[in-house]
């Protein structure tokens, strides 16, 4: 018999997990504190689908990004998720890149081109996963802040992003803590045809310039460690910090004025990353936490990992049901969870 499962948190990770479990015929209920899914870190990021070309080989994060890459094409096709297959370039790329056998070519000046780095609309991506999960029977309870251990469920999957440590603590698990690492962005009405990447540091991927699905260009993010998990403001000094680096990468930005700005808060673990597994304090709780910088890219891999973990085998419980498919404009997963109405960076 399949267990009854609660997912706490409707970011891209929670929605991907809900879809995976619904495809395995698990009775799954997702609780989201906000009135909509995909509006926290998952709706305020760079929207880049990373290939893993710069992810340290052998780490769980890297493995799940690579697995997600293999799963993604089928999902974006079936659910009609918008994707710009634009590729990325990194000037002065370190000689050890690319990692993980990711397809890339290096020019004589050291520039690395990575054609598989794509851009999506991260809100539409998350809503599409939620919509598909819903149409396969997953229940979504929006506007519901989970404060206790949900005794009516056999398994609780903690995908609560910034608040995953608090959810874990309500189960007696204080094994990790989460802090917000803010990233600020500026949106421009200036075209750019590819993702322009700086050489990465051990701390962040740095300030990028990247195109959006709707033909704009975004510069950012910063990386500022905070304590306040509700500070989604864009600091005054952020523009100077971002533009100094962005103009160097994309000179047409020199005279441009931003048409919008936004900030995202990465759910960063203190001293840990990708905390995925059963809590020692309570066997009912499975943490999927501290998914700091790559959760959009890795979400499908994370979800499959959880599906296999819970069921004990890739094909247990009758395997994985096919995805619902879009059959044209306005059709597809019939749920108001799918709302691709406003540009995602304005939400
Ligand atoms: C600046 C920035 C740039 C990034 N760029 C990229 C990128 O280009 N590519 C990429 O792959 N990743 C990127 N990321 C990382 C990515 O955004 C995250 O890894 C991912 O969004 C994490 O998803 P999540 O579902 O774990 O968290 P979230 O999206 O934060 O979702 C958690 C959800 O849980 C809900 N919640 C919290 N507590 C409770 C509770 N008690 N009860 C009910 N609900 C609760 C919240 O309301 C929230 O909706 C970036 C992140 C940032 C901030």
140 alpha carbon – ligand 1 mean position (Å): 17
- Tens of pLDDT, residue by residue over 218-251, are 999 999 999 999 999 999 999 999 999 999 999 9
pLDDT band for position 347 (cuts 50, 70, 90): low
* Per-residue pLDDT at 2 exceeds 90: no
Q: Does residue 344 fall inside a structural domain? A: no
Of 18, 40, 129, 182, which is best to mutate to test ligand 1, by the most ligand atoms within 8 angstroms of its C-beta?
A: 40
Domain with 291 in it: what CATH number?
Answer: 3.50.50.60
The helix-helix angle for 122-135 and 60-79 (nearest 10°) equals 70
Span from the CA of 57 to the centroid of ligand 1 (angstroms): 23
Q: What total of structural domains would you count in the chain?
A: 1
Position 332 scores a pLDDT of 47
Say how many Å lie between the CA of residue 264 and the centre of ligand 1.
Answer: 9
Q: Is residue 345 assigned to a domain?
A: no
Predicted confidence band of residue 331 (pLDDT cuts 50, 70, 90): very low
- Please determine, for residue 100, whether its predicted confidence score (pLDDT) is greater than 70: yes
d(CA 45, CA 293): 9
Report whether 254 contacts 248 (CB < 8 A): no
Closest among 339, 333, 307, 332 to 320, alpha carbons compared: 307
Q: How high is the pLDDT of residue 66?
A: 98
- Residue 269, pLDDT > 80, answer yes
Residue 347 lies in a domain: no
Determine how many CB atoms are found less than 10 A away from the CB of residue 332: 19
Share of the chain above pLDDT 70, in %: 93
Residue 256 lies in a domain: yes
How far does the centroid of ligand 1 lie from the alpha carbon of residue 266, in Å?
A: 7
pLDDT score of 113 more than 90:
yes
- Look at residue 346 and tell me if it is in a domain: no
Q: Which residues line ligand 1 (CB under 6 A)?
A: 8-14, 31-34, 40-42, 44-48, 50, 145-146, 159-163, 167, 183, 221, 264-267, 291-297
Q: 4-35, pLDDT tens digit by residue?
A: 999 999 999 999 999 999 999 999 999 999 99
Report pLDDT for 30. 98
Instruction: Write the residue with the smallest CA distance to atom 19 of ligand 1.
Output: 295
| Residue bearing the CA closest to ligand 1, atom 41 | 146
Poorest-pLDDT segment among 209-223, 300-314, 315-329: 315-329
Owning domain of residue 300: 4-339
Nearest CA to 53 out of 77, 81, 87 is that of: 87
How far does Cα 313 stand from its chain's mean position? 25
Per-residue pLDDT averaged across 129-140, rounded? 94
> Is residue 247 classed as helix, strand or coil in its secondary structure?
helix
104 within domain boundaries:
yes
Q: Regarding predicted confidence, which is higher, 266 or 345? A: 266
CA count, 13 A, side-chain hemisphere, 197:
27
* Ligand 1 atom nearest 183 alpha carbon: 1
**Cβ–Cβ < 8 Å for 268, 157:** no
Residue 167 CA: which ligand 1 atom is closest?
41
CA angle, 134 as apex, 180 and 311 as ends, to 5°? 80
Q: Tell how far the Cα of 290 is from the centroid of ligand 1, in angstroms.
A: 9
User: If you average pLDDT over residues 135-144, what whole number do you get?
Assistant: 95
- pLDDT of 318 > 90? The answer is no
**How far apart are the CA of 12 and the centre of ligand 1, in A?**
7
Q: Which of 28-32, 89-93, 310-314 has the lowest mean pLDDT?
A: 310-314
> Of how many residues is the chain composed?
347
Q: 71 in a domain, yes or no?
A: yes
Summarize pLDDT for 152-195 with one digit per residue, the tens.
999 999 999 999 999 999 999 999 999 999 999 999 999 999 99
Closest CA to 266 of 238, 297, 225, 236: 225
Q: Which residue has the higher pLDDT, 114 or 310?
A: 114
- Confidence band of 342 (pLDDT split at 50, 70, 90): confident
CB 265 within 8 A of CB 44: yes
Q: How far is the CA of 292 from the centre of ligand 1 (A)?
A: 8
Query: Is the model's pLDDT at 93 over the cut of 80?
Result: yes
Tell me, yes or no, whether 168 lies in a domain. yes
């Amino acid at each position: 018999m399949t267990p009854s499962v609660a997912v706490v948190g409707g970011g891209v990770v929670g929605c991907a997990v809900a879809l995976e479990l619904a495809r395995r015929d698990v009775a799954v209920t997702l609780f989201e504190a906000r009135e909509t899914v995909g509006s926290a870190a998952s709706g305020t990021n760079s929207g880049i689908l990373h290939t893993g070309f710069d992810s340290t080989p052998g780490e769980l994060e890297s493995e799940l990004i690579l697995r997600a890459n293999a799963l993604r094409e089928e999902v974006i096709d079936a659910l009609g998720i918008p994707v710009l297959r634009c590729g990325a370039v990194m000037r002065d790329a370190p000689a050890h890149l690319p990692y993980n056998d990711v397809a890339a070519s290096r020019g004589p000046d050291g520039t690395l081109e990575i054609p598989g780095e794509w851009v999506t609309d991260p809100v539409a991506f998350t809503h599409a996963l939620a919509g598909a999960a819903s149409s396969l029977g997953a229940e979504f309870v929006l506007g519901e802040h989970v404060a206790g251990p949900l005794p009516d469920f056999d398994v609780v999957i903690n995908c609560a992003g910034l608040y995953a440590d608090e959810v874990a603590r309500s189960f007696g698990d204080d094994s990790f803590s989460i802090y917000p690492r803010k990233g600020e962005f500026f949106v421009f009405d200036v075209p750019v045809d590819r993702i322009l990447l700086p050489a990465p540091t051990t701390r962040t991927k740095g300030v990028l310039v990247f195109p959006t699905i709707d033909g704009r260009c975004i510069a950012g993010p910063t990386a500022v460690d905070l304590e306040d998990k509700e500070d989604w403001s864009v600091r005054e000094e952020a523009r100077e910090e971002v533009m100094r680096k962005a103009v160097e990468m994309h000179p047409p930005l020199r005279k441009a004025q931003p048409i919008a700005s936004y900030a995202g808060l990465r759910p960063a673990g203190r001293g840990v990353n990708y905390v995925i597994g059963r809590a020692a304090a309570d066997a009912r709780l499975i943490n999927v936490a501290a998914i700091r910088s790559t959760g959009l890219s890795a979400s499908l891999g994370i979800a499959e990992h959880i599906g296999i973990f819970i069921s004990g085998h890739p094909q247990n419980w009758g395997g994985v049901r096919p995805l619902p498919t879009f059959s044209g404009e306005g059709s597809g997963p019939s749920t108001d969870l799918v709302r691709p109405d406003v540009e995602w960076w304005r939400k």
